[in-house]
Amino acid sequence: MARARARRRPTWPTWPTAGLTRQDGKTLLAAWLGYLMDGFDFVLITLVLTEVADSFGLSTVTAATLVSAAFISRWFGGLAIGAVGDRYGRKPAMILSILLYSLGSLACGLSWGYWSMFAARLVLGLGMAGEYSASATYVIESWPATARNRASALLISGYAVGSVIAGQLYRFVVPAWGWRAMFFLGFVPIALALWMRRGLKESGDWERARGQGRAASETSGQRRSPQSQGQRRDFVSVLFRGRLAALNHVATAVVALSLFLLFTERSYGYGWPLAALVVAGFVLFTAQFARARTPMVLTLMVTVFCAFLYSWPIQALLPTYLKDDLGFSPSAVSDVLFFAGFGNVAGCLLVGFLGDRWGTRRTYVAALCVSLLFVLPVFAMGRDQTVSLALLLFLQQMFAQGISGLLPKLIGGYFATSERAAGLGFTYNVGALGGAVAPVLGASLAGGHSLGPSLAWLTFSLTLVVIVLIAVNAPLRVQRLCGDRSAAPDTDLTEGGAAARAGEPPGTVPGTRTRHGEERLP
């Protein structure tokens, strides 16, 4: 009995690089640089917003829509570039995303007015979404199955590092060379990331899935259909080349227009009907792609949406709270944000190792529970308690925001290899709309008074919601209650490569077999 328990006990890695190769490190670095620029740019637009508003003669409300512009296109970028990744490989999708990203960043620096900057932000949003889905899927599938939580967390740490760098460069670059120089600075790392990605090998899981699809086709002697060949059944093929293509083109236009009107303050009192149209469009798209697994995927989107709602009130409004409510100077705000960002980085590193030892969901829930201890004390600090505030923010961000390093691994675990990039990209970027809603909701709850209580209770309550959703594995439970029980995966599908090598029949996706043992398609 003691020997059996010893075999089941997870092993702690003796060294962070145990079992990893030089190629694994190169894979991570190439993707990590892209994530660094993602964080750099998102924080950058919030830092230079007042300078942009002064240059273009914009009001504060109009200038703020430039932040929201990227959210209008992110959902479509996750869908389209994710489809490229599933159909043609993870590496081409990564290169395409970084090209779009660099083009959008360069265009921001060259923009001559509001609408040119808005269009540049739309392009950048496409690249940001594709960067998340393509790079996260590639790194997770390329690393050994026993280290994939580390891969996910280390990758996301790049975003936090980028935000820290942006905050520190702002105080030196903008006074000397202006806000445009900040956008131009991002081009060198982007060029380096492109150069590194050209020499990368394709994801091992994707290559195996493609090889198994070809072998199955040759064995049957029949022409492969999109339903039988996973890598050809992508979002673009399903939505825009199928029998409902005309309806989906109209729905795409309606969703895009509705998001545009909502995020540019042009809803003219029709905010709720427009939001309902957006939700209906996403449900329509999900139902066609996920089919029997629609309840599971929709619940996963809600989980991600709530995760953004708990994290982004602080992410977006903390500088405003520090300046307006506590009266901090710009340099003091930059220093406090440095500690918050550094806590995010430390959290990503910590939860990656804990996730490989304890499991993704268990680590996620434990970290969020610890983060609750620091939320209310953060907003109880006064102006003269800067050191205590910085320390509490470090710890709160370490456990609350650092845990987002496991989010790609968590989402990817619900999708088979053949549709993981599009599934992860679309699900995450639809849920990311919570990041656009959160600041508005936080400011609205404040009602013109202090932001502190609003941010504290909104973050605290939504964190509790996410804890429950992840702890009970809500996507899987909802699928079993409201849909086809056999369509719900029994295991984390990102572990498919390891399971297949351990003796699964060729072509089988672990965790997707019926009760009678026969194989079924994911």
As a whole-number percent, the residues of the chain with pLDDT over 90 amount to 21
Residue 2 domain-assigned (yes or no): no
Which residues have C-beta within 8 Å of that of residue 46, sequence separation ≥ 6? Answer: 67, 316, 319
- Domain carrying residue 247: 22-203+236-489
Which of 80-89, 113-122, 261-270 is modeled with the greatest confidence?
A: 113-122
| Residue 431 per-residue DSSP state | H
For the chain, what is the mean pLDDT? 78
Residue 499 domain-assigned (yes or no): no
Residue 507 domain-assigned (yes or no): no
**In the structure encoding, which two tokens stand for residue 407, read together?**
């989010």
Q: Number of folded domains in the chain?
A: 1
pTM (predicted TM-score): 0.79
Residue 396 domain-assigned (yes or no): yes
CATH number of the domain encompassing residue 307: 1.20.1250.20
Residue 295: what residue type? P
Residue 383 domain-assigned (yes or no): yes
| Residue 326 per-residue DSSP state | S
Helical pair 90-110 and 187-198, crossing angle rounded to 10 deg:
160
Residue 441 phi/psi, 5° resolution?
Answer: -65, -45
265: left (phi over 0), alpha (psi -120 to 50) or beta: left
pLDDT given for residue 215 in this prediction: 60
Residue 75 has pLDDT above 80, yes or no: yes
Spatial separation of the C-alpha atoms in residues 503 and 398, rounded to whole Å: 39
Residue 119 domain-assigned (yes or no): yes
pLDDT given for residue 206 in this prediction: 66
Residue 510 domain-assigned (yes or no): no
CA angle 475, 477, 480 (to 5 degrees): 110
Q: pLDDT digits over 22-39, tens only? A: 777 777 887 787 778 777
3-state secondary structure of 519: strand
Residue 328 domain-assigned (yes or no): yes
Residue 395 has pLDDT above 90, yes or no: yes
Spatial separation of the C-alpha atoms in residues 301 and 424, rounded to whole Å: 10
